[in-house]
Amino acid sequence: MSGASPLRIVFAGTPEFSVPCLAACRASGAEVVAVYTQPDRPAGRGRKLTPSPVKQAALDAGIAVEQPESLKDPAAREQLAAYAPDLMVVVAYGLILPRKVLAIPRLGCWNVHASLLPRWRGAAPIQRAILAGDNESGVDLMQMEAGLDTGPVLLERRTPIHADDTGGSLHDRLSQLGAEVLAEGLKRVLAGETLAAVPQPEAGVTYAHKLDKAEARLDFSRSARELERQVRAFDPWPVAEAAIAGETLRVWSARALDVAHQAAPGSVLATGRDGIDVACAEGVLRITALQRAGGKRIGAADYLNARPDLRTAR
């Protein structure tokens, strides 16, 4: 595309995950003509209206910001068309793009999605992959169509899910991988290449439904391995919680032990500097970091100092 006017991009994204992808667009040599992001939402203790991380990054870069409540409104579509985008890049935007919006950019719309499609289409692919015990995740650069994450894949990056990965650590890694795969796609298109669009296979489709706070409750009638994955997946949000020795606690860190026992699920089997061992239907969950109501995250040893009644548990 040498000699031609630069590729005009409209970027649509909202959370922190999307910010590296916006930076990749700006660094590519293309022109980011506008950024679309969700309307400001109340946040923090004062419930003050707060701009999204993407809006803040756009303002810092001097890029025009649009925050429509919906893209179904004809006026919102006219505004988008007025930017005359060649390409729209969508990364965790949080609004549905109607078919009429997908048709506005000359090259259509790209989406950076944090899973290996068609596995984990939908809202919470990072946490669902950990919950399910997947060994691998990744990011797909996809050509968007009207269905939910159904479009053909243009490029892909993979990463193993490590035994100690949390929702937070995998999120951060996939955020950077997303920026890398997007940068590669833009580089190739700017060089005049047409990316091959590979249709998703029909086999292996799963949906990553939005996280619900009710899912955070640990049920000790399940296996310790399942509960360990739950603790990791829900760090940093919504954070696992459990009733332990008569107190409801947030559980930040735990590991499954393959220990046979005859105790009732939920019983405290042993305590010590290494953690609090709780009986599960299968195995034992050793809780190593937790949080009391109104308190901060502490290690198990500090918690036991405040609960001398538990220090002798066996």
Report the binding-site residues for (6S)-5,6,7,8-tetrahydrofolate. Answer: 115-118
- Bridge partners for 31 per DSSP: 8
What is the three-class DSSP state of 232? helix
- Taking phi first (over 0 means left), then psi (-120 to 50 degrees means alpha), and beta for anything else, what does residue 269 get? alpha
Q: Between β-strands 87-91 and 109-113, what pairing exists: parallel, antiparallel or unpaired?
A: parallel
User: Binding site: which residues?
Assistant: 115-118
Residue 138 to residue 115: CA distance in whole angstroms: 5
Q: Smallest Cα–Cα separation from 33: which of 96, 82, 73?
A: 82
The greatest distance separating any two alpha carbons of the chain, rounded to the nearest whole angstrom, comes to 77
How many CB atoms neighbour CB 129 within 10 A?
28
Half-sphere exposure of 113 (CA within 13 A, CB side): 29
CA 310, distance to chain mean position in Å, is: 37
